[in-house]
Each structure stands twice: as structure tokens, then as C-alpha cells.
Chains A and B, each alone.
Chain A
Amino acid sequence: MSIRRRIVTVVAAFAALAIAVMIWAPTVGSTPISLARAFDRSIPWDDNVDAQIFFVARLPRVLAGGLVGATLAAAGVVLQALLRNPLATPFTLGVSAGASLGAMLAVTMRLEMTVLGITSIPLASFAGSLVATAIVYALASSQRRGLSTNVLLLAGVTLNAFFSALILFVQYLADFAEALRAIRWMMGGLDVASYFPIVAALPFVLISFVAFAMMTRTLNLLSVGTEAAAARGVEIVRAQRLAFMSASLATGAAVSLGGPIGFIGIIVPHLVRLIVGSDHRIVLPASALFGAAFLVLCDLAARTLMSPIEIPVGVVTALIGGPFFLWLLVKRS
């Protein structure tokens, strides 16, 4: 019972943090607004600036930040367990590079189609992430042994390098404005101004999270070694496949929504492990919740620190990430 209680207690604490942050964040911003007015139903919607700032500008942004932050942090945890390496990130295996290439092509080819209400850039970037996932999977699978994590890592790193080169090439061919737009997309942005992109990403994230939930104890075993895990009853091939696919799907959805926001997938799991230990049954949900809060706070900083100018949220996470790693390095030595 104590294990179950510990899991529930810790996760509940992180949930409280995440909820508190996400309730507070939309009330704060570069423009002072009156919450009373924003929630005043008697004022017609078209006249209520405070309400529009709250419900159109800020709330979708906070929700998107929560979703993307939770997803990237959780995907980071899963990939670190899969690759048995605490330095792995959701972007290590090339998913984000595929997404970026997709977005880049959409920008430079000036694609302007909308499918099921999803505009061209998120659509193309999601497609790119799926293509990258498929390629890495194909490279790393063999019929007999299933997924080899070493080959997976190599395939992912190779794909990252290759796609990054393609991205540079496409940027070079693009004209100035397109190249700028593309670079800007790659710094990440959560200002969605609409609930629809969030709703569109949600099914993929939910499916992945269900898979994650089923895998938590298995991740513990996998992180000790595949042979040991197999001897303890883990179907290695199936577990690795599930971990890779779900983490990649989740990452693809998150990057399509908010761009490739870096460092969430590695800072958050690290910090959470420092606080709660390494049991993935706690680390996974706690990281998701902490990731949501963390990214929402980073975005809050991004949209208020240098107001009226906004710092791209990926820049904020990177500015935090650098010193964080420095501190980790110093702590270890």
C-alpha cells in the first residue's frame, strides 16, 4: 500500500502545482486586464477587450503551453528509459528534425491548404515527423531482434544530421522573408489564438499518454538493461516498439503545435528525478505535470519580460537550459 500511496501523493502534489500555474498564468500578462470585466457575461463579446485578451490571446496560449510542456517532458522520460541514457531528449531520434523540415517546406513552397481545419504548417510538420519516425524505425528494426537501441540511436542521430542539412539547404534556396519565417518557427511559439490546434493535437497526445501509462513499470526494468528486463518477464521487442512509437507520435504532435521547443524534454525529467527518485511510475506523470507548469512559466516570461517585444519561448528555455547543464556538470564533479 505504501508504494501506491507514495505514487498518488507525489503525483497529486505535482498536479496541484500544474493546476495552480495554469490557473494563474492567463491572469498575468503584458497588458493589465480586469478579471471582473473578462468574466462579466453582461458585456457583449465583441466589446469586451478584457475577455478577448483572456479567452483568445492568453488562455489558448496557456493550454497549448501546458499540453506541449507535458508532452515533451513525458516523451523525454520515455526516450531516456528506452535509450538508457539520461541525456536523451525527445529530439534525439530525429522526430523534431523531420517536423522542422516539413514546416520549412510548407513555408518555402508557400503551401496554403487547410485540411480538417488544420493549416499547412502544422500539417506539414506533423507529416514530416511521421516520415522521420518511419525512417528511423525501418533503419533500426530487424526481423529477429526487433529494435536495437544502439542502432536506433545511430539511426536517429544520422537522420537528425541529414534532415538538418536539408533544412539548411531549403533555407538557402528560400527568399529572405521565407527564410526568416522558417527560422522564427524553429524558435517555438505558443500564441495559437485559437483552441482548434490544441484540440487537433489532443488525440495523438492522449493515445501516447495511454501507452506511457501502460509502460511505466516496464520502463523501470528496461532502464536496468534489456537482458535483465527480458529475464524478468518483459517482452523486449514489443516494449521498445511501443515506447519508441508513442514517444515519437507525442513529440510529433507537440512540435507541430508549438515548434521544436528544446530543453523541456531533458531539464524537466532531470529535475523531477532529483526530487522524486527514479521510479518511472512517479517520474513519468510528475514530469508531465511539471513540464506543463514549466513551459507555461517560460512562456509567461517570454511574453512579459521584454514587453512589448516578445522573446520566442524556445529562446527562453534555451537560456535556462544552458546554465542548468552547467550546474549539473559542476554538481557531478
Chain B
Amino acid sequence: MSTKSGRKITKSTKYTKYKKVFFVSFVYFVTFVVSFVSFQAQAPPKRIISLVPNVTEILFAIGAGPQVVAVSTYDVEPPEVRSLPTVGALIDPDTERIISLRPDLVVTYGSQADLQAQLTRASIPFFDYRHGGLDHIMVTMRALGARTGHVDQAETVARGLQAGIDAVKNRVAGKPRPRTLLVFGREPGSLRNVYASAGRGFLHDMLVVAGGEDVLNDIDKESAQVSTEMILARKPDVILELNSASRLNEADLKAVVDPWMTLSSVPAVRNKRVIILNGPGLTVPGPRVLDGIQKMADALHP
């Protein structure tokens, strides 16, 4: 090797070495960046907005409460949400406000297609919630657990709720199921516009778990308006009326039950089994639903 070529070889070897180092570092750098970015994309959301009150309750129950930054106008439980900003609800979601709060997950109703389209355009992921039966509550809990990074806690809560439900089922197993009219709305002071459960939906599921038989089973709808004639004809053994008042004193209770007294041939009226179940959270498909189921079971099978 001549001096000239030796020097040349040394130069090119050094250059190649730098190239190699540079290349490998670059590859490491890119890999690092890509992993970092993708890792971030799969990280649990830190700013959740929930437009669905019962989902809010579930979020707090499974431990995702601290991640919630805003709720709907109708959210009142748990107490922590009362100080959070509100962004509208089912019919009137305030899209601007929602986006301005920079959420990384928005819980929407299945029917809010417009809102979902706008969130997609703003690259904000959303959780599409739809009402379902009683089982759907547990499904939602687990799905949210996965989505918000609280898988274990969600599992615990879901299992606990299931256990509670199963306990009630066991308690009423084997007992005769009273034919029940489950009323969730009517004109105050009269029997007009009575709305009752009609064989489907999660209120119906609650009734079934609590050991009752829906007297309007055959209609197979989530709710139906019942006429006076139908109530008389179906002769329910028990009338359960859901009332959202948090407290009902004796006078109020009597006033609520009174209009039913005209239907004195109905077994529920004759045997004084017109029962008012009151309380704000009774029928919210969330963690408190067990309370409602237990109250129903107590009423049906004292």
C-alpha cells in the first residue's frame, strides 16, 4: 500500500464508520419516536367529557373520575360532578364548548350522529353509548374500563354488581311471580296518560330480576301507554309506581296513591299492593341500579 492509497483508505474507512453510526442512530431515533407516538395514542384519555349521566356514574365508579373534565347539564351524581362545567345534553350538545375543552374522549349517545361527525373532523375520539338491557350495564362498565385504563377496577365493579343482581335472583327464586304493572309516568292527580313497562328494556329486566312478571309482557315494547280499561282487564297483582321525588311524606304518598283507588276491582288495589318506589337514582342504568332492584324485590316479595 502506497502512502497515498493508505491515506485514502483510512479516510474512506472513517467516513464509512461515521455513516454507519449516523445511520444506526437515525434508525434508533426513528424507532423511538414512532414508539413514543404510538404509545401516546394508546394511553388512557386524560380529559374525558361525558354527555350521558349514567355513564358518568359508571366512570366514577370504575375509578376514571379524576379524568372527567366536563359533564352534561343533567348530571348530578356523584356529587363531584356538580362543580364541573356542563356542555349540554342529548338534544343540545354544545359542540364548540366541547371542542374548546380539548377532550381526548367524549362519551356520546348513539343517536348524536351530528356531534360524532364533528368530533371525528376534530380528530377527537368518542365512545358511542346506547341504552340496552340490564346486562348492558356490565358490558358498558367493562368497555369503559378498557378504554380508560381501569380494566381491573371496572371488572371488580361489574362483578360486584352482577353478584348483587344474582343475590336478588336467588332470593326470589322459586317464589311465585306476581303479575306487576310497572308504572313510570302519569298525569299527577289522575290516571291519565299512564306509561308502563311493556315487556322489554332494562326497567323490564329489573322487574324480572326482582321476581316480578310484567303484566304487559305481550306488547313487547320498552314502554306503552295503558288505558284504564286495560288496567282493569289485566288485573295486575301489584302496581309499582316509580317516582323521582327524593322524599315523600305520608300526605304526599297518599295523594300519589289515591287516584288508583277508583280501580277497586284490580287485585293490586284491593290487596293494598300499590307501591310507590321513590328516589332519584332508582332507574339509572349505572352502579346504583342495584338499589332499585332491591327496592323492587322488597316490594314484590316482602
By beta carbon, the residue of chain B nearest A113 is B189
Question: With A52-B264, A57-B228, A309-B219 known to touch, is A181 a contact of B233 (CB < 8 Å)?
Answer: no
Residue count of chain A within 8 Å CB distance of chain B: 39
What 0/1 pattern do residues 59 to 92 of B give for CB contact below 8 A with A? 0000000000000001000000000000000111
Interface size on B, residues (CB 8 A): 29
Cβ B219 vs Cβ A193 within 8 A: no
Residue contact A52 to B265, C-beta cutoff 8 Å: yes
Residue pair A56, B262 in contact (C-beta under 8 Å): yes
Contact with A along B232-254 (1 / 0, CB 8 A): 11010000000000000000000
In contact, B262 and A48 (Cβ under 8 angstroms): no
Q: In the complex, which of the residues A177, A193, A303 contacts B191, with contact meaning CB atoms closer than 8 Å?
A: A193
- Asked if A172 and B192 sit within 8 Å, CB to CB, the answer is no
Q: A49-B235, A172-B91, A308-B218 are in contact. Are A112 and B188 (CB under 8 A)?
A: yes
B187 within 8 A of A: yes
Asked if A56 and B263 sit within 8 Å, CB to CB, the answer is yes
- In the bound assembly, the distance between CA atoms of A111 and B216 in angstroms comes to 29
Q: Is A310 an interface residue (CB 8 A)?
A: yes
Whether B185 lies near A181 (C-beta < 8 A) is yes
Q: A121 CA to B190 CA in the complex, in Å?
A: 10
Residue A91 at the chain B interface, CB threshold 8 Å: no
**B197: min CB distance to chain A, Å:** 14
Given contacts A119-B187, A172-B91, A303-B229, contact A189 B193 (CB under 8 A): yes
Asked if B225 and A310 make an inter-chain contact with CB atoms under 8 angstroms apart, the answer reads: yes
Across the interface, which residues of A come within 8 angstroms of B235, CB to CB?
A: 49
**B192 and A31 form a contact (CB under 8 A):** no
Q: Tell me if B270 is interfacial: C-beta within 8 Å of chain A.
A: yes
Known contacts A119-B188, A120-B189; is-contact A310 B227 (Cβ 8 Å): yes
B259-281 residues at the A interface, CB under 8 angstroms: 262-265, 270
Nearest B-chain residue to A49, judged by Cβ: B265
Say whether A46 contacts B270, CB under 8 Å. yes
Q: Closest CB-CB distance, B216 to chain A, in whole Å?
A: 8
Instruction: Please indicate the chain A residues that have their CB under 8 angstroms from the CB of B187 in the complex.
Output: 119, 121, 181
Chain B: minimal CB distance from A259 (Å): 10
Contact of A184 among B193, B216, B265 (CB under 8 A): B193
Within 8 A of B (CB), among A12-65: 29-31, 45-49, 51-53, 56-58, 61
Decide: A114 and B230 in contact? CB cutoff 8 A. no
Shortest Cβ distance from residue B274 to the other chain A in the assembled complex, whole angstroms: 14
User: A30 to chain B: closest CB distance in Å?
Assistant: 6
Q: How far, in angstroms, from A106 to B62 measured CA to CA in the complex? A: 39
Smallest CB–CB gap between B272 and chain A, Å? 12
User: Closest approach, in angstroms, between the C-beta of A19 and any C-beta of chain B?
Assistant: 22
Q: What residues on A are CB-neighbors of B193 within 8 Å? A: 181, 184-185, 189
Q: How far is the CA of A31 from the CA of B233 in the complex (A)?
A: 7
- Nearest-CB distance from B189 to chain A (Å)? 4
Please determine whether A53 and B229 come into contact, CB atoms closer than 8 angstroms: yes
Q: Is B224 an interface residue when CB atoms closer than 8 A count as contact?
A: yes
- Judge whether B188 and A120 touch: CB under 8 Å: yes
- A–B Cβ pairs within 8 angstroms, 13 of them: A49-B233, A52-B232, A52-B263, A57-B227, A57-B229, A61-B228, A112-B189, A192-B192, A194-B262, A303-B227, A308-B218, A308-B219, A310-B225
Besides A49-B235, A181-B185, 18 other A-B contacts (C-beta < 8 A): A31-B233, A47-B265, A56-B263, A57-B227, A57-B228, A57-B232, A61-B228, A112-B189, A176-B90, A189-B192, A191-B228, A191-B229, A192-B190, A193-B191, A193-B263, A309-B224, A310-B225, A310-B227
